Structure 1
Amino acid sequence: MVVCPLTPEILDQLRAKFYADSRNVLAQNVCTKTNPIEACASRKILEETHHVFTHKIETEGKPVTNQKNSGRCWLFAILNVMRTSFMKQHNLDEFEFSQAYLFFWDKVERCNYFLHNIVNTAKRGEAVEGRLVNFLLTDPTCDGGQWDMIVNLITRHGVVPKTCFPESYSCESSVRMNSLLKSKLREYAKALRDMIDNGASDDELKTRINEQMMVIYRIIGICLGVPSEKITWEYYDKSKNYNCVGPITPLEFYENCVKPYYNVNDKVCLVTDPRPGNPYGKLYTVDCLGNVVSGKTTRYNNQPVELLMKLCAESIKDNEPVWFGCDVNKRLIDKHGIHDINTYNFELMFGTDIHLGLSKADRLLYGDSMMVHAMAFTAVSIDREGKIKKFRIENSWGEDHGQKGYQVVTTEWFANFVFEAVVDKKYVPADVMAVFNQEPIVLPAWDPMGTLAH
């Protein structure tokens, strides 16, 4: 057993060595008075990075969206992607789909999914103290999500314009509502497991879940509002002409007004997981990960990052933005909206590098990186030799971040910190599409590839 306590002698050596280097004193003077990460920002990168691109989609959505104090980036990203073609077809200057609408249905469906997970894991013999159930109970309902969860929500519940279901307090700041739901779900989890221990039948369990969901629905409806069964959307187009759609159900609105221009079932999610134990060309899923009972399961088609980059560029050149997931906070100069592996010179300030001391695979293995945020690619730059140089990002943090809500990401950053991208299947090679026909390899619930974008 290795034992290396910090004795007074060792502490004296550490202190003496620290102050023996005058650069440490200078760095200390700087970092004790300002943000230590921002203090490492590279002036050279700021001067050389420009928000100008060789290929850009015709119409970027307006206004810039803002998820505020919630983890709804995955919903904002898909609705930002969907609205570009929708706005063009309906001759609109500005438009937003209702993020609150999908958020409502995700909360309802996700709580029901959690209760079913509790029953299923109990029937599998998983102990409440075991790692799996403990993991599920840690966060019974969060705001984050994955691509296949989006497909579940839209194909089951449709979409509506934001004017038909506007934001609420708990949409923009969800932590308090979530605390109510989490506490109730844990209470209900115990009740269901107790019933199973006492030999309850499946019909009795179904009845109890339905009763529990009446309470859960009530809490969510009080906090978020309850969407109407039918909507009527009135609007003026660019030519100042009055238009009216409806009365129509949200699902009919998606099927009739949105799906012809953006069909979520035509899109596929490709991931890039370079860990040696997860080979490329294989299909993966994550145990207990989802949001809709009997809905689409979360599936990951694992491919090299170079393919994801190539297909993202092809989609943008064809005027279609791309939903993608990444580790957003690594090497980001937020004020200027720049993602670049050279944005910060940690070596100069601290005498050691940060983030890049591990490979992408090892960052996943050791918990230093994972997909935590979803955004949309809307432009790409390709040089004369055909090499992809950078992408433009539409984020959902409002106009105060980046260049009025937009960011730029280099291909080097993409290779290190992008983990998944969603493109139309028409761009995907046949052999890659064939991977979706495989029986998926099941990763444990706590695997980093099961992390949700928020």
Structure 2
Amino acid sequence: MATPGVSEETLATFRKNFSSDTKNVLAQNVCRKTDLWEVCLQQEVVQGSKHVYNTKVAEVKPMTNQKSSGRCWIFACLNMMRIPFMKQYSIEDFEFSQTYLFFWDKLERSNYLLDVYIECAKKGEQASGRLLSHLLHNPSEDGGQWDMLVNLIEKYGVIPKNHMHDAQSSENSRRIGCLLNTKHREFCMSLLKMVNSGCSDEEIQKRKKEMLEEIYRLVSVSLGSPPESITWEYYEGKDKVYKKVGPISPLEFYRQHVKPYASVDDKVCIVNDPRPENHYDKLYTVHCLNNMTAGVPVLYINKPASVLKELAAKTLKEGKAVWFGCDVGKYFHGKKGLLDTKLLDFNLVFGFNANGLDKANRLVYGESLMTHAMLLTAVNIEDDKTKTWRVENSWGDDNGDKGYLSMSDDWFSEYVYEVVIDKKFLSEETLALLKQEPVVLPAWDPMGALARL
């Protein structure tokens, strides 16, 4: 009978080859006591990075911190919105409430998913099937996509942070996420049983409303109750002149005092999905990807990476920051605040290339997808070519340049998946693509990934 597993002869060859190369022994000695990325770090890349840019938008304070939550997509949006808002009202220090939108997303997404469970049951989907298995993997997901922000803000508005501060469960969302997941799976089971047993739509909707009230109670207890009206008081300009707005509803506060300078519904999500079957200049959506029943659908226009760069640079030249989604964990050094494909030399330490897949195949084989949303605030442009980008993150001011990151242009090409661009910067031909019937990608497609880190 053959020896199970790797043969002794093969292992002997591996041992001999490893120990005969003194570089392997040196690398082993170092790596046993040192973080692997620190050993692979290319110092010339670190030393060559400079946080100086020739095209830059105004940057404001404070640097935000999402802490242990997946609210990056909300932070990036509100950070983008506050730049023109603060300029308009001549204020030096400001944040919108991220927890306010987080609250409404938890409730609306739960309502949306309860409706999806009912629809799945009516179509004969089983809990063990791929669709419901995917939806129930982490239904309380913190992350989101751009059009989900449009749904929330256009319905509920925004408020200053001092009208709804962070709660422990918004700064560290793991516990509330676990409870929501538990309830979603229980509710999905109940709704499937009701549909399969022939309950009427009226009975199902009555039970669904009871379920949603349980979720409302959980979210309210954990995050606090969002205010129905606010009175915003602030000091304007260098002379610190007292000003007052309100009482006013959050939606009217947005419509009257924020939207004229920082609207969210006049933008389009442009993605780079280079998989051969997903053609450029086509409109895409993802099955069962939304956070609001009957809300704005999540839509993408697919373009080459060069177009995403061109549009982002054009927006920055106009003094506007750019919301974008990327795979932040690749070739990234958090403390130094660097995103660069040349940052880590795995061949030097391990003797192999760790970048054997191109961008399309990284999507196909599960090696990469969008994980994080941040803000582009500056770019270096030389000879009409983009070189390096400045990124406002939402992880506090301890890393990088007081919280800002430096991103190489090659890293943008490889790991940026989407940018959000004002319609005014798009050609008529591109805007016409929004009138297409979107290609529907399956719910588990990597382009349905949510910014969640």
Bucket of the pairwise TM-score, normalised by the shorter protein: over 0.9
Cross-structure match for 1:111: 110
Counterpart-to-counterpart distance in 2, 1:205 and 1:401: 50
Taking a change above 3 Å as real, the CA distance of residues 389 and 229 of structure 1, as seen in their structure-2 partners, is same
Tell whether the 8 Å contact from 2:233 to 2:245 is kept in structure 1 after alignment: yes
Is 1:179 the counterpart of 2:178? The answer is: yes
Cross-structure match for 2:246: 246
* SS at structure 1 position matched to 2:153: helix
Cross-structure match for 1:430: 428
Is 1:99 the counterpart of 2:73? The answer is: no
Q: Kindly state the Cα deviation for residue 49 of structure 1 after the two structures are TM-superposed.
A: 1.1
* SS at structure 1 position matched to 2:306: helix
Tell whether the 8 Å contact from 2:370 to 2:451 is kept in structure 1 after alignment: yes
Is 1:79 the counterpart of 2:75? The answer is: no
Counterpart-to-counterpart distance in 1, 2:250 and 2:92: 22
Q: Kindly state the Cα deviation for residue 200 of structure 1 after the two structures are TM-superposed.
A: 1.4
AA aligned opposite 1:216: I
Q: Kindly state the Cα deviation for residue 429 of structure 1 after the two structures are TM-superposed.
A: 1.4
Q: Kindly state the Cα deviation for residue 195 of structure 1 after the two structures are TM-superposed.
A: 0.3
Per-residue CA shift, 1:342-387, capped at 9, x if unaligned? Answer: 0111111111122x2100000000000100000000011101x111
AA aligned opposite 1:341: T
Counterpart-to-counterpart distance in 2, 1:127 and 1:411: 45
Counterpart-to-counterpart distance in 1, 2:108 and 2:137: 18
Cross-structure match for 2:66: 67
Counterpart-to-counterpart distance in 1, 2:334 and 2:191: 45
Tell whether the 8 Å contact from 2:388 to 2:408 is kept in structure 1 after alignment: yes
Counterpart-to-counterpart distance in 2, 1:401 and 1:196: 52
AA aligned opposite 2:318: D
Cross-structure match for 1:122: 121
Cross-structure match for 2:399: 401
Q: Kindly state the Cα deviation for residue 237 of structure 1 after the two structures are TM-superposed.
A: 2.3
Per-residue CA shift, 1:380-420, capped at 9, x if unaligned? Answer: 1101x111111100000000121110011111110000000
TM-score normalised according to structure 2 size: 0.98
- Of stretches 7-16 and 303-312 in structure 1, the one that deviates more from structure 2 is 7-16
Counterpart-to-counterpart distance in 1, 2:433 and 2:123: 29
Cross-structure match for 1:323: 323
AA aligned opposite 2:209: N
Per-residue CA shift, 1:167-190, capped at 9, x if unaligned? Answer: 000000000011111101111111
RMSD between aligned alpha carbons? 1.1
Cross-structure match for 1:261: 261
Q: Kindly state the Cα deviation for residue 124 of structure 1 after the two structures are TM-superposed.
A: 1.6
Is 1:156 the counterpart of 2:155? The answer is: yes
AA aligned opposite 2:36: P
Q: Kindly state the Cα deviation for residue 259 of structure 1 after the two structures are TM-superposed.
A: 0.4
* SS at structure 2 position matched to 1:325: strand
Cross-structure match for 1:12: 12
Counterpart-to-counterpart distance in 2, 1:15 and 1:230: 70
Q: Kindly state the Cα deviation for residue 5 of structure 1 after the two structures are TM-superposed.
A: 3.6
Counterpart-to-counterpart distance in 1, 2:371 and 2:183: 26
- Of stretches 90-99 and 116-125 in structure 1, the one that deviates more from structure 2 is 116-125
* SS at structure 2 position matched to 1:375: strand
* SS at structure 2 position matched to 1:115: helix
Counterpart-to-counterpart distance in 1, 2:4 and 2:403: 49
Cross-structure match for 1:274: 274
Counterpart-to-counterpart distance in 2, 1:444 and 1:38: 39
AA aligned opposite 1:360: K
Is 1:390 the counterpart of 2:388? The answer is: yes
Counterpart-to-counterpart distance in 2, 1:291 and 1:303: 25
Q: Kindly state the Cα deviation for residue 125 of structure 1 after the two structures are TM-superposed.
A: 1.5
Q: Kindly state the Cα deviation for residue 336 of structure 1 after the two structures are TM-superposed.
A: 1.4
Cross-structure match for 1:51: 51
Cross-structure match for 1:299: 299
Counterpart-to-counterpart distance in 2, 1:180 and 1:61: 36
Tell whether the 8 Å contact from 2:268 to 2:300 is kept in structure 1 after alignment: no
AA aligned opposite 1:143: D
Q: Kindly state the Cα deviation for residue 244 of structure 1 after the two structures are TM-superposed.
A: 0.9
Cross-structure match for 1:194: 193
Counterpart-to-counterpart distance in 1, 2:337 and 2:217: 40
AA aligned opposite 2:28: Q
Counterpart-to-counterpart distance in 1, 2:100 and 2:167: 10
Counterpart-to-counterpart distance in 2, 1:39 and 1:266: 46
Counterpart-to-counterpart distance in 2, 1:124 and 1:287: 14
Q: % of aligned pairs identical?
A: 50
* SS at structure 2 position matched to 1:376: strand
Match of 1:445 among 443, 446, 452: 443
Cross-structure match for 2:378: 379
What is the 5 A alignment of 1:323-362?
A: 323-354=323-354, 356-362=355-361
Give unpaired runs (5+ residues) of structure 2: none
Tell whether the 8 Å contact from 2:74 to 2:101 is kept in structure 1 after alignment: yes
- Of stretches 271-280 and 15-24 in structure 1, the one that deviates more from structure 2 is 15-24
AA aligned opposite 1:394: E
AA aligned opposite 2:374: M
* SS at structure 2 position matched to 1:264: coil
Per-residue CA shift, 1:269-295, capped at 9, x if unaligned? Answer: 100000011111111111111000110
Per-residue CA shift, 1:299-357, capped at 9, x if unaligned? Answer: 11111110010000000010000000000111112111111110111111111122x21
Cross-structure match for 2:227: 228
Cross-structure match for 1:209: 208
